Structure 1
Amino acid sequence: MRIDLADLNADPAVIAEALGPDNTPEMDVRLDGEVLETRVERASAGGLQSTVDDYVQNLGVAIRVATVATAEEGSSAADDSAKRQE
């Protein structure tokens, strides 16, 4: 599966890294620019479905957290800049 992360207000590398601990040996994940490529090989259709379902759930959480963190970093930087100008 290929997931284009270009339109997010978050660093694709942070999202990919956040998913790492939950990846299984049957998974091959790499980041190609802003596209997250994930290959999953399982012996059964049920196992494949379970792995992909878990991965998509984890991806959603990683995207939300990375987006919020990026927004907060931007807000902090703007606040710091405003304080320095006072």
Structure 2
Amino acid sequence: MIETIITIAIVIAAIGVLYYFLKQATTLIINAVVGLVLLFLINHFGVMSAIGGTDLPISLSTVIICALGGVIGVVLLVLLDLAGIVL
């Protein structure tokens, strides 16, 4: 009887941990997609040219930064470009 209760408790704990990580992963995926779309829109509409910078190149390094950093990654790329550092 005690083995059944322990098993049920372990399963409930595993479901709770899995739910937490999936919830966090969903947030990270949404942030990455928004960052990549924002990078595309900045290049498409020429926002960087309007504020005195050069167009942000869509390369492997910029895509990885936007995918991992999301909106904060795009802001970092814009600030680096305005400072004259291009990746």
- TM-score, structure 2 as length reference: 0.47
Q: With a CA cutoff of 8 Å and minimum separation of 6, indicate the structure with the bigger relative contact order.
A: 1
- TM-score, structure 1 as length reference: 0.48
For the pair shown, the structure with the greater C-alpha radius of gyration is 2
Q: Considering fraction of residues, name the structure with more strand.
A: 1
